[in-house]
Amino acid sequence: MRVLVTGGAGFIGSHLTDALVGAGHSVTVVDDLSTGRRAQVPAKANLVQMDILNPALGSLVAETAPEAVFHLAAHASVSESVREPEHDARVNVLGTLKVLRACAGAGVGRFVFSSTGGALYGEPQALPCTESHPVRPLSPYGASKAAAEAYVHALGQDSGMRTVILRYANVYGPGQDPDGEAGVVAIFAARMLAGEAVTVFGDGEQQRDFVHVADVVDANLRALTRSEDGVYNIGTGVGTSVKELFASLVRATGYSRAPQHVPARPGDVGRVWLDVSAARAGLGWAPRTPLEVGIGATVESMRANRIQ
């Protein structure tokens, strides 16, 4: 298939692009390289450095004529969204609308949107969160993804494009930027490998659902062949506290220092993990990477790449 991936130079997008190229698809990546890296894009993919808000996006999509589009380009940090909500909304809401309009105009058949499960539901009323849990984001980032989802539904219905929305938990794995503000596994692992202080926001009892990037890629590939619209949580269904995560990373890295606690960040949810039974039933998908195994492999990859 001809496939277009926005954000394909980023953490999840580059893993997805690798898998799509490996499966024999013809892949175009659109990325402005604001957080993504050119080196992460496989040579067989065609990288176009472009902001998704660029007016030329429509003609690029029309010329490329993709059968399917994976939309991952986003401003993907909760804490930065609290500081700069307008920038977050510009990229995540307006940007998504621009991509959707370009796709609808070019007759794209399938649109797969990377949304969030971790930041969409707010402080959950019940755990694990199902897709029908009320959408009450605590952060501008969660709000922007909720708005973008609404546009995916509206433009999908209007254009006849098949749409699949994947709501990820906390994604981790090799290649995640350890210098950003999101991605606690990469941040902790890099600091531990460098012997630096590790900062924990709050008491460390906050719980998250950590899903490996290979499982997230698998969900995207399954969404490519899905013939109906759908909204699916993509996580593990298990909550892991930041304290437990710290301990797991200590085992993998041999780090010997205690964490430094600082006040909790605004916009962060206390406890959230996702019910993934809809993805099991609708996509035939299941998380396959146990946390300890995924953490070990991530640390090994960081060691090998000397991201220390």
Catalytic residues: 141
User: Is position 190 an interface residue for ligand NAD (rule: CB under 6 A)?
Assistant: no
Q: Which two tokens stand for residue 295?
A: 């953490």
Among 4, 102, 171, 252, binds ligand NAD (CB under 6 A): 171
The closest of 84, 143, 80 to 115, measured between CA atoms, is 143
Shortest gap between Cβ of 8 and ligand NAD (angstroms)?
Answer: 7
Stretch 100-129: interaction string toward ligand NAD, x if CB under 6 A: --------------x-x-x-----------
Helix or strand (DSSP H, E) at 250 = helix 242-253
Q: Which are the contacts of 246, defined by CB distance < 8 A and separation ≥ 6?
A: 188, 198, 200, 204, 259
User: Is position 12 an interface residue for ligand NAD (rule: CB under 6 A)?
Assistant: yes
Q: 150 or 197, CB closer to ligand NAD?
A: 150
Q: Which two tokens stand for residue 67?
A: 């059968």
One-letter amino acid at 196 equals: E
User: Do 237 and 39 meet the contact criterion of CB atoms below 8 Å apart?
Assistant: no
* Residues numbered 201-220 forming contacts with ligand NAD, rule: CB under 6 A: none
Q: 197 or 214, CB closer to ligand NAD?
A: 214
Among 1, 19, 33, 135, binds ligand NAD (CB under 6 A): 33
Among 27, 52, 89, 164, binds ligand NAD (CB under 6 A): 52
User: Is position 91 an interface residue for ligand NAD (rule: CB under 6 A)?
Assistant: yes
User: Is position 31 an interface residue for ligand NAD (rule: CB under 6 A)?
Assistant: yes
Task: Say whether 37 sits in a helix, a strand or coil.
Answer: coil
User: Do 191 and 31 meet the contact criterion of CB atoms below 8 Å apart?
Assistant: no
CA dihedral 120, 123, 129, 131 (to 10 degrees): -30
Among 4, 20, 48, 76, binds ligand NAD (CB under 6 A): 76
Among 17, 28, 35, 163, binds ligand NAD (CB under 6 A): 35
Window of 74-82, 155-163, 244-252, 281-289 that interacts with ligand NAD by CB under 6 A: 74-82
Residue that is written with structure tokens 């999908």 in the block: 156
Shortest gap between Cβ of 35 and ligand NAD (angstroms)?
Answer: 4
CA–CA dist 94, 160 (Å, integer): 21
User: Is position 32 an interface residue for ligand NAD (rule: CB under 6 A)?
Assistant: yes
Shortest gap between Cβ of 256 and ligand NAD (angstroms)?
Answer: 28
User: Do 241 and 247 meet the contact criterion of CB atoms below 8 Å apart?
Assistant: no
Residue 27 has a CB neighbour count (10 Å cut-off) of 25
User: Is position 10 an interface residue for ligand NAD (rule: CB under 6 A)?
Assistant: yes
Q: 195 or 270, CB closer to ligand NAD?
A: 270
Helix or strand (DSSP H, E) at 252 = helix 242-253
CA–CA dist 203, 263 (Å, integer): 8
The DSSP code for 296 is: H
Q: What does the binding site for ligand NAD look like in residue numbers (CB under 6 A)? A: 7, 9-13, 31-36, 51-53, 72-76, 91, 95, 114, 116, 118, 168, 170-171
